[in-house]
Every structure is written in C-alpha cells, then in structure tokens.
Structure 1
Amino acid sequence: MDRRKRRTRRLLGEALLELVQEKKWDQITIQDITDRADINRATFYLHYSSKEKLLADSLEGYFDELVKQIAAKTMNKPIWENPEADEMVFAHVAEHADLYRVLLGENGMGYVINRVIDYIAQFSELQLRAGLGNIELQLPIEIMARHVAGSLFALVTWWLTNNMPYTPREMAEMSIRLCVTGTMPVKQA
C-alpha cells in the first residue's frame, strides 16, 4: 500500500476512534468520520464499505502491535506457560481503557454481547455455587462464571461463522472439556 493510502486510512481510523469516545456508535455517521478526518466522503468509500470495516481495520492495527510486543517479550512460549502474554493484554486494555470502555460498554457495540455474556455468567455462577458447595476455591466464583460464559459465547460465535462443522454434542463436549481441563495439552506417558 502506498503512503497516501496508508495516510488516508490512518486519518480515517484516528477520526473514528476519537468519535467513538464522544458519541454513541449508532449516532456516528460516515459524514462525521470524513469531516473529522478532513477527507472527502467519496474517498472513504474508496477504502472502506462501512464504518464497521473501518473500525475493525483500525483495531487490528492496535492488535497487531500488541501481538508483536507479546511475541518479542515472551519468546513465543505456549499460552499455557505464559502468564506474561495475558498480563500484556490486560495492560494494553488499561492503556486504552477509554476506547475499550466505549466499545465494550453500555453505549457501544459490545452492549448486546455483554448482555448475553452477563446472562450466561449469572446462570453459570448459580450452577457453580450449587455444584461446588463448600469447596475452597482458588479463584473468585464470579471470575470463573465469567470465564465459562465468555468461552461459551466465543465457541458459539465461532461455530456459527464456520458453518457448524461439529455437531451440537461435539461442541458441548469440547466446551465442557475446555472449561474443566483448560487448553493445556496433556502430556502422553
């Protein structure tokens, strides 16, 4: 991509990321973005078909940089041996907290997703409390329930977008296995 295209995309991305911190997502128009970037509206459509595509492209830039930092610092260790990677993710979110609060908060794109996950987490917490009884837990039960809910939501989303390559039963078994034993591979004897 030549310099002018990179510059235009950067200006559009910066404009959108500023706007999402000022306005609700559904109130932001393409005209708002192009006005803020000081770019012609037609130019926007030469690069993107929607504000969602622009947002995804802009966020991928953040994520690409984060992945490079993680790879450099952790020497590509597997994630199950690598708490530094998760720490870097949380540090990245903290550094850009205003943006993520808007995107994932009540007025952002994540509102419906968070409502679904919250609902699953509430149910999961009830199930965990009932099933675990008085067992001393190593983690707060709220965190465990949120993990189960987020994992289930992510798996359902992946399954649907990949044309359901596994049966519901297979997906359920994999989901349970991941939540019970995690992602760390079992070493063969």
Structure 2
Amino acid sequence: MKSYSNVPSREDRRTQKTKKSLADAIKELILEKEYDEITIQEIIDRANVGRSTFYTHYESKEQLLVGNINFQETLNNTPDDDENYPLGINISYLFNHTKEHILLYKAMSGNRSIDILGNYFMELCSTKIIDHLNRQPSFKEKNQQMLHYKAEAAAGGIIRMMFKWLSDGATIPSEEMITYSKKILSDFFAEE
C-alpha cells in the first residue's frame, strides 16, 4: 500500500501550522473547483508558503489530500477484541468523520479526488481486516489469496456505501449506517 502519511511522531509548531495551512488551502480550493484543476501553485499561494516548503512536507497534492486525514492513526489504534470495531475497523469514526466533512466530500464527488480517498480508505480497511483475521489462531490455515479478495470486497462495499450515503445527503442517521455496516462485516466473515 502506498503510504500517504507524512506525519512524524512529533512535529514542531511551525511544521504543524504550515501543514494546517496547506490542508486548509486544498480543502478550500476543492470547494471552489474540480480537484484535477487545482495546481500546486494555487495551493501554495492560498496557504502563503513557498514551493520548497510544500515539497519539504509532501510529494504531491494527493499526499496532501489524504495525509491530513487522521483516519489511518485512528484505524490503527483500534482494539481487535472490541465488538464496536468489527474486524478491527472503527466504523463509527469512519461514518461520523465523513459526515462532519460532508460538504468537502460532496464537492469531491464525481472527480478524481474522491477516487483517491476511496482507494485510500479501502486499502486501510482491507489491510486491517486481513491483519485482524490473520491474528486469529484458528484462521492461520486459510487461503490467503481468497482472504485478500474477501477483504477487498468487504472494505470496498462499506466505503462505496458510505460515499453513496454522503452523495445522497446523509439523510439516514449515521448510527443506522454504522449498525448496518457492522452487520455486513460480521455476516461477511461469519464462517471465518
């Protein structure tokens, strides 16, 4: 999985402020225009930083886009044995976080940025599912290739459903979507 995370364990305040300015700039620009039309120059102008400063922290605008979503850190810090985190995935955070930023996600809908985020979320979730199941003692003998396919299908289904929910205006309460997603995941891997 390509790493988009560019967050060292400790950053000084200037670095944090610069990264926040860049993150705010790309979010504002996405609300104004198509992601593919946004240039690095527009991002750095909006953030009031230099090009070399941008490239000190990020390799691309894609890395900036996903690198400022705390989902990976939250996902990796979920307990494996908690029923609130089916297969180790924090479904509640996933739905609540995206609903909190619904305008941004709706603005990205229909362009490449939503595909980038969708793929990023799916890779994180499928990796978490695989890691979770492989840690189960009774699971070690299973077909790993099939596990990868099933994990991709499960993660992809949840993420696609979440983006569809957002594009429909998130009219169904997030709690209902969370409950349904947990059921899908537990049913999908019930025989595992």
In the alignment, structure 1 residue 90 sits paired with structure 2 residue 127:
no
Which whole-Å CA distance do the structure 2 matches of 1:90 and 1:180 have between them?
Answer: 17
Structure 1 pair 65–111 and aligned structure 2 pair: CA distance change class (3 A): closer
Q: 1:77 aligns with which of 82, 86, 97?
A: 82
Aligned pairs for 1:23-38 (under 5 A) are 23-38=33-48
Supply the distance in 2 between the matched residues of 1:16 and 1:23 (Cα, whole angstroms): 10
1:11 paired with 2:21, answer yes
Does the CA contact (< 8 Å) of 1:16 and 1:55 recur in 2?
yes
Which amino acid is 1:102 matched to? Answer: A
Q: Does residue 50 in structure 1 map to residue 60 in structure 2?
A: yes
What CA deviation, in whole Å up to 9, does each residue of 1:16-70 have, x standing for no partner?
11111211111100110011111122211222121111112112x3x257559x9
On the 8 A contact 2:44/2:54 being kept in 1, the answer is yes
The alignment status of 1:183 with 2:189, answered yes or no, reads yes
Structure 1: gaps of 5 or more residues: 115-150, 156-168
Task: Give the aligned residue type for 2:65.
Answer: L
Structure 1 length as normaliser, TM-score?
0.52
Q: Secondary structure at the match of 1:52?
A: helix
Q: Tell me the equivalent position of 2:107.
A: 102
Structure 2: stretches of 5+ with no match in the other structure: 1-10, 127-142, 155-184
Give the number of the structure whose alpha-carbon radius of gyration is greater: 1
Tell me the matched-pair count: 133
Scaled by the length of structure 2, the TM-score of the pair is 0.51
Partners of 1:11 and 1:37 within 8 A in 2: yes
Task: Specify whether residues 185 and 95 from structure 1 end up closer, same or farther in structure 2 by C-alpha distance, changes over 3 A only.
Answer: same
Listed as ranges, the matches of 1:109-188 within 5 Å are 109-110=113-114, 171-172=145-146, 175=149, 181-184=187-190
Higher relative contact order (CA 8 A, sep 6+): 2
SS at match of 1:77: coil
Q: What are the superposed Cα offsets for residues 85-143 of structure 1, whole Å, 9 maximum, x if unpaired? A: 4344222221111112233x1124235998xxxxxxxxxxxxxxxxxxxxxxxxxxxxx
**C-alpha RMSD over aligned residues:** 4.5
Give me the whole-angstrom Cα distance separating, in 2, the residues matched to 1:181 and 1:24. Answer: 38
In structure 2, the CA distance between the partners of 1:7 and 1:112, relative to structure 1 (3 Å rule), is closer
Measured against aligned partners, the alpha-carbon deviations of 1:143-175 in whole angstroms (never above 9, x if no partner) come to xxxxxxxx8xx86xxxxxxxxxxxxx9634764
Query: 1:25 touches 1:108 (CA, 8 Å); kept in 2?
Result: yes
What amino acid does structure 2 have at the position aligned with 1:106?
Answer: G
